Structure formats: C-alpha cells, structure tokens
Structure 1
Amino acid sequence: MAVASPAVRSYGPARERSGAGLLATALLAGLLAGLLGAAPAHADPKPTVKRLKKELAGLQKESDKLIAGYYSSRIAREKAEKAEKAARKKLTAAQKVYDRHSTELRAMAVAQYTGGEPGALTLLSGEREPTALFGRMALARHLVARQDARLRDHARVRDEHRQATGEAAARAKELARTTGDLEERKEKAEKQIERIKDKIDQLHEAPGVRRSDGTWVPQLPEGSDHITPRMRLVRKLIQDRFDVPYGIGCFRAIQDGGEHPLGRACDFMLSRGGAMPSAAELERGDQIAKWAIKNAKRLGIMYVIYRQRIWHATSGTWRTMSDRGGTTANHYDHPHISVY
C-alpha cells in the first residue's frame, strides 16, 4: 500500500491545507511589513479655493444664527435690567415705610409698657364718677383700637416689604442668568467670526515662487506705494482683519539696510508721536504678531519685530534685541513685518 508523503500527512485535508496556506501568507506579509516598514500615510490634499469658499459659506450661515441668538439675548438682558431696577426701587420705598412703621411700633410698645399712651393716665387719674369711668373705658377702647390698627398696618407693610425683597432677589437672579447667557452667546459668536476670518485668510496665497527650502524668490516693488505684491497682500489682510488705528508705513527711501527701501516691510502703528500705546493697542499688536507667525509659511513672511524682540521664520522662535533707545526704535508702538 502506498504511504502518504510527509507533506500530505502534516497538512491533512484540503480545507486544512488552505487555512494553513492563508496563515503562512499572512505571517509572510506581516514579516515583510515589519522589515520594510509601513507605507507612509498620504497627507490630506491642500484645500481648493472652491472647497474653502464652500466651508466659508457654511461658517457664515452658522455665524448669522449665533449673532441672531446674541441679539435676542441682549434684548432679554435689557428687559431683565429694567425689571431689576424697578424691583430695587420698589424695595427701597418699602424699606423706608417698613423702618418708619417699625419705629412707631417700638414707640407704642414702650408707651404701653410704661403706662399707656403719653398723657392718657394723667387725664384719667382721680376720676371716680360713673360718667368719668365710662369715658375712661371708651378712651381705653379707643387706644386698643389704635394699637390694633397700627399692628394691622405694620403687618401689611411687613408683608409688602417681604414681597419686595423676594422680587428684587428674583430679578437680580434673572439678570445674572441673562448676563451669563449673553456672555456665552457673545463668546460663541466671536469664535465663529474668528473662524470665518481664518477661512478668508486661507483663500489667499502669497504670489511668487517659493523655493524647496521654504524661502521665496524676491520680487520687485511696484505701484505707487513701491512695495512688492507679496507685502501688499500681507498689508491688506492685516488692515482688513485688525483695522490698524494709526496708519501703516511701508516704503522708505532711506537706505537703512532693512527691507523698507526694498518694498518688503511695513510698520503697523499703534500710537502716534512715539507714545507708548494703550493696553488695548499693545494687545492688538500681540494679535497682529501672532497672526503673522501663524501665516508666515503660506504668505512668505520672513520675520516679525515687536516689543524689542524678533521672530524669524528660519528659527521659529522669539529672540530679544538690544536696546535701541526709544519706544519706536524698540518697536513697542508697532509690529514690523518683513516678507521674502
């Protein structure tokens, strides 16, 4: 009888041989992957202008909803402010009445404790005739009636005071709630607007040719402002986004060794006459510098100078500069931006 070969005996039926073959293939593939390394993942393709515009339209639509909600919240807060103000006014009036009645009630209690209304016992003392007694009883009833009326009136004033206090507290709570809601809606709307601005920025690419090392081929200045197309784009985007308050200075004919005479630099002024900018304007300068750094690679920005520091695209970090002796010279009153 023929003897099965060892290979047949080791694998058994065809189905087992098939499974073993698949396993071997899988192991081999895994080994090759380990030796050769996994294939690099493909980066997402650069978004097209068409796609960016579509995303921008969606952001603007959502922004309109957020702004509408913010507007409604502003109206609600205005109503809450009026209600809270009226409640406080009502409480102030109720407090005055309550204090006056409390003072009168205390005086009545003292008089009662010391012998009745002032002068009442003096008028009735020594009377023994029935007529005088009846008069005294009538006066006593009158005094009791007056006391009861005062007590009832005080109870009413007390209840009104309590109601005014509760209403004022409720209106204050409602005002705090609407104020918090307003701030939340405002923050959401502002963030959405920032996203829209970022998306608008992405629609623009620096003109010219970029080298393989990330730097850009220089451009000639042109136009009546004597700056390069690359610098002109950066200037426009910053002015549109940050509304620079004290002007933008770019081309200067003085040969100071910088990029101004070459039309490749602009100063975004935050004050006049060399004065130190306000805290708000200093913050605006910080935002301009951050924006420039964020968009440096795409827009061909070479370096940024602000607050006696310089950031260069090649290092990607801030470096402190030497003291040049003044607010303007040390770039505290303006960010300076140069492009390739």
Structure 2
Amino acid sequence: MRTTMPSGRRSPLIAVLAAVAMLLGVGAAPAYAEPNEGGSKKLRDTLEATAKAHIEAQAKLTNSQRRQKELTSQLAAVEVRLVDLTEQVGEVAAQSYRLGRLSAAAMLLESTSPEAFLERAANLDTMAQRDGKKIRELTDVREEARAAKIAIDGEIREQQKQVLVMAKRKREAEAALAAVSSGSSGGFSGGSSTSARPAPRNSDGSWPSESCSVNDPTTSGCITPRTLNALQQTQAAGYKRYVSCYRSGGSGEHPKGRACDFSAAAGGFEDRTATGGDKAYGDALAAWHVRNAGRLGVLYVIWYRQIWHPGTGWRSYGGSGSPAADHTNHVHLSMY
C-alpha cells in the first residue's frame, strides 16, 4: 500500500525543496521554462544563421565606413599637398622658360675663375636636384590621390554589398518568422540607460567563436565567456531577479551555454503571465538587452509574445499558449 503524506506536512517540505532547488539552480528553471526556446529547430537554425550573417555584415559595413572616413581625410590632406606642389613645380617651369635651355651652360662659361665655376656648378646641381625632387614628389602625390580615390570607390562598393546582404538576411528571417509572427510590433521601453561593458571582438569587428567553457553561476553547467559577460552586465545594470542559463535538455542555445532565461517575477519562474510590476520589469529588461545588443553580442531576445532579431527588429511571436511558450513569464536572451 502506498502511504501519503498529510497535506499539512507536505506543503512545508515542498516549499523547502523548492527553495533549495532555486539556490542550487536546478529544478526551478525547467519548471516553467520553455524546453524548445525559439520554436522549431528549423526556425531556430534560420534565426541563428540570419542573425549571424546580419551581425557579420554589420561589422563589415561599420569597418568599411570607418576606412572610407580615414581615406577621405587622407585624400583631403593629399589634395592640399597637391595644390602646393603644383604651384611650386609651376614656378620651376616658369623659371626654366624664362632662362632658356642654355642658361646653365652660359652661367658656367661666364665664370671668371675655376673657383667661381665650381661654385656655380654646385649651385646648379643643387637647383636641379631640388627641382627634380619637387617634380617627383608631385608625381607621387598625384598617384597617392588617385589610389585614395580608387580605395574610396572600393569601400563604397563594399558598403553597398553589405547593405544588400543585410536586406537579404532580413527577408529570410521575416520569412522564417512568418509561421509564428503576424508582423512587426512595437517592442518595449523603460529601464536604465546604462551601457553594458562591451564583450571582446576580433580586430575586424566580428565576434570570436566561443565554447561552453566557463562555469555558469546560475546552474552547475557551463556558458560561454560572452554569455557570462552579458549575465554580469545585466545584473550590474540592476536586473537581479532569478535567472537560469545552462540547460542540458532540450535544444536551442541553452545546451550550448549561449542563452539565459530571466524570470519576470521576483520569486523565480512562475506558471502565470506577468502583470503589473513584473511586466514592467520584463519590459525594461528586454529593452535594455536590445539597446546593448551590439555591445554584448545578442543573437535575439524573446519576451511577452514578441521577438527581437538584429535584422528585423521587434516582431510578434507566438508559442503554444502557455506563459513559458509565449515568454510572458520570462525574458529569453540568446547570444551569438
């Protein structure tokens, strides 16, 4: 015969176990967290691929714009030198025209002594070297200006290319989201405007590849260094309610250590839709993640039936109808 514990004794025990589970980072997270964050595998794969492509294209676009700015400044300086050198060479040409081709020989033949001859020859050689240097310098600066203009044109073409890539990835993301989204949405606002500490990037502005290699302070699992930075910066900005990152089961970014779920309720994940202060907390948190997406390396954010993707912005997003599936009880953060 199976014995049962009286309800009066069972409730305190359950409460204690729940509290312990929350402290240890186990039990509480899976209870009301969606096991398949981001929808179907096909949708998640498409969102990840398009977000990565968008972020990489944006980094290339930013670098190209920076190079164009540097080249434009360089060209402006070269053109100032070009004007000055053109005037100097013009003076040399005018002087040569006035003195004639035989002026040098005449000056030497009119020397009254060997010493005067040598002095005049040295002066003429110095003048010839100086004038020749000016002409060579003018030629070099003209070539430098031509190369800068070609490089600027190349950067403009690169920018046009990356804009097209971003537009293509946006269309692909929108097409993938069409099955779970009815279109653009308003997003969220509120919260602190504190800027997050940027995660390290490669020299070209792209995000380095990272593995699940550091301890997850919210569970007994692991997360990537970039996810850890995002978690720490989120908490430093004042969002300190219960959070769970690594999850061994299911799919998506959690098992890769690249995602965290932030509960809207102060006491942890609850199987109910957030309202009032909890809703305002989630709104502010989601908005903060989006504002700092470029600093942190955010792949996408899901909150309250909406999803933010770097290529599409905020769009409506529907799950199976539960608070976990519709993300109305927690903010989901996926990292690059």
TM interval, short-chain normalised: 0.3 to 0.5
* Richer in helix (by share): 1
Rg larger in structure: 1
Say which structure, 1 or 2, has more relative contact order (CA 8 Å, 6+ apart).
2
